[in-house]
Amino acid sequence: MLNPLRCGSVPYPVTCVIRGADLVEDGVLVLCPPDCTQVSVFGTEVYASVSSVCGAAVHRGILGQPGGSVMVHKLPGQHNYLKSYAHGIQSRDLSRWTASFSLTIKKPLKKPPVKKVSTGGNKEFLLSNYTQPKELLSAIKELVYLGGDTNTGKAIMHAVESSFTQENGGRRGYPRVMMVMIDGWPSDDLEQAALLARESGINVFLVSVAKAAPEELAMVQDKDFMKKAVCKDNGFFSYSMSSWFGTNKHVKPLAQKLCSLDSLLCSRTCYNSVNIGFLIDGSSSVGEGNFQLILNFLTGIAKSFDISDRGSHIGAVQFTYDQRLEFGFFEHSTKEASLNALKTIRYMSGGTATGAAITYTTENLFRRTGPGRNFLIVLTDGQSYDDFRLPAMAAQKQGITIYSVGVSWAPMVDLNAMASEPKENHIFFTREFTGLAELAPLVVRGICKDFTEKN
C-alpha cells in the first residue's frame, strides 16, 4: 500500500491502476498520468475502494485526458454502488463493498512546516573499502562533523538504498545491521525509511543520546520515533545513553546486541522467506496470446523475490476442469531455473473449475511448507463452474493467504469470496490482460505487508 509521508501541496505521483484501497492516508493529493481510461471503476460520485483513483477522477469529470492532481477522501463502505457512463468511462455497479472514496480538486487544508534540510547523510566509506580493523579505525577518526538538522529518516533511506548492495560490499547470506546514533530527536519523518529497512532485511538499532528534557518535549514532532525506527519494538533494538561523556562503558553491551545472531529478527524478510503459489486459469476464454501476458505478469511478481534453495520458493498449478502441477516449490533451486519454468508453461485450454483447483493446489503444492509465509495468487478471467468458497476457506485455515486477481469477465463477487481478509487489500482487477503488468508491484507490496504483519 502507498503511504505518502505527508498530505501537502505537492501531489504524490501514482499510476492509472492505483486504487483507493492502495492509499493509506485520508486526504492525499495524487498526481494522475494521462490516458487513465482503460481501468476499472465501480460506482458514481462515491466509488468502491477497489476502483482506480485516476479512472474515477476522469469518470467524475474532475480530470481529463491529460491527467492532473486530485484529492482522495476515504469513506466507509456502502451498499449499491451505481453504474453510469461519463466522460468516456463506463463504471460498473457493485452490490456492496467494505470501503469507499470520493474526489475533489480542493487543496489540502493542512500544510507541513517548511524546514531547511540537509541532504540526509554523506557516504563517508563503503563496506568494501576496508578489511583491516586498523584501517577502519583510522577512517572513522577522520570523519568530519557536518552540522545541520537531524534528518534521520533521510539518512536511513540513503543508507538502505546504497550501503548494502553487493557492488558496495554487501554479502549474501550475512545479517545486515545498521546502528543509528541520534542526539536528541529527528527533524524529519523516519517511518517510511524504517519500513524500507525492515523490508530490505536490515536490522536497525537506534542509539539515543541525551533524550529531550521535559520542557523540550513540545518540540518533538513524533514522540514514538524510537519505536518506529527500530527493526522491532521489543526493547532489544533500542539503546539509550544519558550523554556523550563516558560512552566507553556502553561499547560492550552494544557489541553484544549487534552480534546476537538469533535476535536479529529482521534478517528474514518477505523477499527471502515466502512460498508463492500461482494458480493459473488456462480456460478456453483466455487464449494463447493472453496466456502469455499472464505468464509475463507472474514472472514480474516472481522477479522481485530472492528465489533459491534457502530463500523464497515459487510453484505453479494450471487449471481448467482438470488441474496440472507445472512445478513445485522445491523443484528448482535457482531463481533462473524457476523463472524459466514459469515462462515456458504450456497453455491447456478448457473449462473453469476454480474450487477443485484451489483444493488440488492446497493438497499438492503447499503440503511441505510451514505456516505464516504461504501465499496463493489465483488468476482467472471468468466465472467458476464449481463451488470455490469452501476450498478457499479451507486453504486460508491452513495458513495460506489468498490474493484473487481478476481479468475481463471475472465476477467481482467471486474474487471477493476467494480473497483473504481484509478483502480490499487482496483483490485486484483489470479489464484488459494488458493491464496486468501494472498490478505486479502492488501484489508484491501486499505480500510484503502481510509477511511483515504476521512475522
- Range scoring the smallest mean pLDDT among 114-128, 140-154, 400-414: 114-128
Instruction: Kindly tell me if the per-residue pLDDT of 387 is higher than 60.
Output: yes
CA 28 – CA 50 distance, rounded (Å): 17
What's the confidence (pLDDT) of residue 8? 45
Confidence of residue 131 (pLDDT cuts 50, 70, 90): confident
pLDDT value, residue 172: 62
Q: Is a pLDDT exceeding 50 seen at residue 85?
A: yes
Ranges of H-type helices in 152-190: 152-162
Q: What is the pLDDT of residue 371?
A: 55
Query: What would the mean pLDDT of 196-206 be, rounded to a whole number?
Result: 85
Q: Which pLDDT does position 115 carry in this prediction?
A: 25
The span from the CA of 187 to the CA of 172, in Å, is 33
Q: Where in the chain is the domain with CATH 2.170.130.20?
A: 12-104
d(CA 418, CA 189): 37
Q: What is the DSSP letter of 52?
A: B
Residues 154-178, mean pLDDT to the nearest whole number: 81
235-250 pLDDT tens trace: 888 898 887 777 889 9
Q: Closest by alpha carbon to 418, among 374, 450, 379?
A: 379
Res 114: pLDDT = 26
Kindly state the cell numbers that stand for 246: 563516558
What is the C-alpha to C-alpha distance for residues 347 and 282, in angstroms, rounded to an integer? Answer: 6
Quick one: average pLDDT of 326-353? 94
pLDDT for 345 equals 97
Q: How high is the pLDDT of residue 66? A: 83
Give the residue among 407, 405, 411, 398 at the shortest CA–CA distance from 365. 398
In the chain, which segments carry CATH 3.40.50.410? 133-267, 270-454
Q: What percent of the chain has pLDDT over 90?
A: 46
Question: Residue 113: pLDDT above 50?
Answer: no
Q: Which fold has domain 12-104?
A: Ferric Hydroxamate Uptake Protein; Chain A, domain 1 (2.170.130)
Grid cell for residue 403: 490474493
Confidence at 122, pLDDT banded by 50, 70, 90? low
Which range is least confidently modeled, 142-151, 273-282, 284-293, 402-411? 142-151
Q: What is the pLDDT of residue 125?
A: 83
Reported as a pLDDT band with limits 50, 70 and 90, residue 110 is: very low
Helix (H, G, I), strand (E, B) or coil at 319: strand
Whole-model pTM? 0.58
The H or E element spanning position 418 is helix 412-418
Q: 172 Cβ partners below 8 Å, 6+ apart?
A: 166
C-alpha angle 93-96-101 in degrees, rounded to nearest 5:
80
What pLDDT is stored for residue 173 in this prediction? 60
Lowest mean pLDDT among 4-8, 300-304, 323-327: 4-8
pLDDT bin (cut points 50, 70, 90) of residue 279 is very high
Residue 149's SS3 state is: coil
The burial class, CB within 10 Å (0-12 / 13-18 / 19+), for 121 is middle
Question: pLDDT digit string (tens) for 168-178?
Answer: 887 766 788 99
Rounded CA gap, 115 and 30, in Å? 22
Superfamily, domain 133-267 = von Willebrand factor, type A domain (3.40.50.410)
Q: What is the CATH number of domain 270-454?
A: 3.40.50.410
C-alpha cell at 378: 489465483
CA atoms within a 13 Å half-sphere pointing along the CA-CB vector of 16: 25
Mean predicted lDDT score pLDDT of the chain: 85
- Between strands 313-319 and 275-281, the pairing is parallel
